[in-house]
Amino acid sequence: MGIRIGEIMFIVMIVLVLFIVVIIFFNKRGIPCIMYHNISENKGVNVETFTKQIENLKDMNTFKFEEMEKLNNKLPKNSVLITFDDGYADNYTNAYPILKQYNLKATIFLNTAYIDVDPFYLNWEQIKEMYNSGLVDFQLHTHSHFSVINKLKISRFFGEKDKENKELYREMKHIYGVEEIKNGYPIFKKRGETAVKGYKITDDFIKKYDELLEEYNELEISEREEKLLKEMDDNLIKYMKKYTFDEYKKRVENEILQNKMIVEEHLDKKAEYFANPWGHKSKELLGILGEIGIKGMITTKKGTNGLKLEMFKIRRYEAKTFKKFKILLFINSNYLLGKLYELVS
């Protein structure tokens, strides 16, 4: 005889009850790590949404990264980590008052090259005020947040409107090693320069490319770009050189150690935790971080963390709407659901 419908229903009920018991057991045993950048009306998370998100965290335990070592990297149940990358000025004007209102702790991973230089970023007076409050920690995000060419594949060509994109223009000047980027220069596939060795553009490449720009100057844009793509594949690629490991290691050390020195000098504290720009990592990077005394790396891999943090595998997620925030907070506060979320993300 086959299994009766009543028996099937009984088995389903048992499985469902067991699933609910497991979900309840793992509830609040996951440590969500939330990532923010800008808190503004024009970029990132708007102030109203951020306020609702932070209010929703008011009954959870929050910690700064400088507290991790004394906690032996282990957090209590019902905890959350609040993080910001880059160090934008609106973190002070818009986010900090809300963190103070709810007495919640956060960590800002700073790019130090733009402090007191670019008004879009924090200044040291703001940073010191936040740090001295006891609520906001400051850690490492490289000095410059630059990228490097990862693949010899052209995404598109630089145009006049791109000059209005300050961050892209700054990166392009760094990659090409020039003071001005010409319209028609290729924008290659990129990654954060601490994650991969990458390729460098030589003086010979720029010389040959400038000659071609001049030669094709009178052509329609589409025709010019078609010819430039063909020249890249046929001839110009030989002028691109791969960085050696020693060059890569020196670049990583310079970016992180300069970052570290500046933060420590201004705040009279240790800065030992690193959020890798773009979130990419490699075995080579992890080896270098160990050599220079970094005690943890925060990624952009989605998912949750256990109560005992794996300090070089801290997972984070971003939520720009309140609905998404609520859903992801529920999922990632539950260790089991958070791990399932990792698998599908």
pLDDT at 149: 96
pLDDT at 213: 95
Q: Which parts of the chain have pLDDT scores under 50?
A: 1
pLDDT at 1: 47
As given in the structure block, the two tokens for residue 134 are: 């006891």
In order, the DSSP letters of 143-179 are: SS--EEEEEEEEEEE--GGGGG-HHHHHHHHHHHTSS
pLDDT at 3: 60
- The count of other CB atoms within 10 Å of the CB of residue 167 is 12
Adjacency order of strands within the sheet including 199-201: 186-192, 147-157, 199-201, 240-242
In order, the DSSP letters of 67-95 are: GTTTTTTB--SSEEEEEEEE-BTHIIIII
The values of phi and psi at residue 28, to 5°, are 65, 10
Beta bridge partners of 191: 148
Length of the chain: 345
Cβ(95)–Cβ(287) under 8 Å?
no
Pairing of strands 147-157, 186-192: antiparallel
Secondary structure of residue 89 in the 3-state scheme = coil
Distance, CA of 67 to CA of 53 (rounded, Å): 23
Distance, CA of 50 to CA of 320 (rounded, Å): 8
pLDDT at 18: 54
Cα separation values, 245 from 13, 152, 249, 284, 345, Å: 58, 18, 6, 9, 32
Question: Tens of pLDDT along 144-192?
Answer: 999 999 999 999 999 999 999 999 999 999 999 999 999 999 999 999 9
pLDDT at 345: 82
pLDDT at 278: 84
Per the confidence metrics, is the pTM higher than 0.85? yes
What is the DSSP secondary structure assignment for residue 135, as one 8-state letter?
S
Cβ(122)–Cβ(178) under 8 Å?
no
Burial (CB count <10 Å: 0-12, 13-18, 19+), residue 192: buried
Cα separation values, 248 from 10, 258, 276, Å: 61, 15, 15
Cβ(104)–Cβ(54) under 8 Å?
yes
The values of phi and psi at residue 135, to 5°, are -95, -25
The values of phi and psi at residue 328, to 5°, are -70, -30
Cα separation values, 171 from 9, 43, 93, 167, 232, Å: 61, 20, 27, 6, 21
Question: Tens of pLDDT along 260-292?
Answer: 999 999 999 999 999 999 877 788 999 999 999
Candidates 55, 63, 66; CA nearest to 81 is: 63
- The count of other CB atoms within 10 Å of the CB of residue 64 is 21
Distance, CA of 3 to CA of 17 (rounded, Å): 21
Phi-psi region of 141 (alpha: psi -120 to 50; beta: other; left: phi over 0): alpha
- The count of other CB atoms within 10 Å of the CB of residue 169 is 15
What is the DSSP secondary structure assignment for residue 72, as one 8-state letter?
T
pLDDT at 230: 93
Radius of gyration of the chain (CA): 24
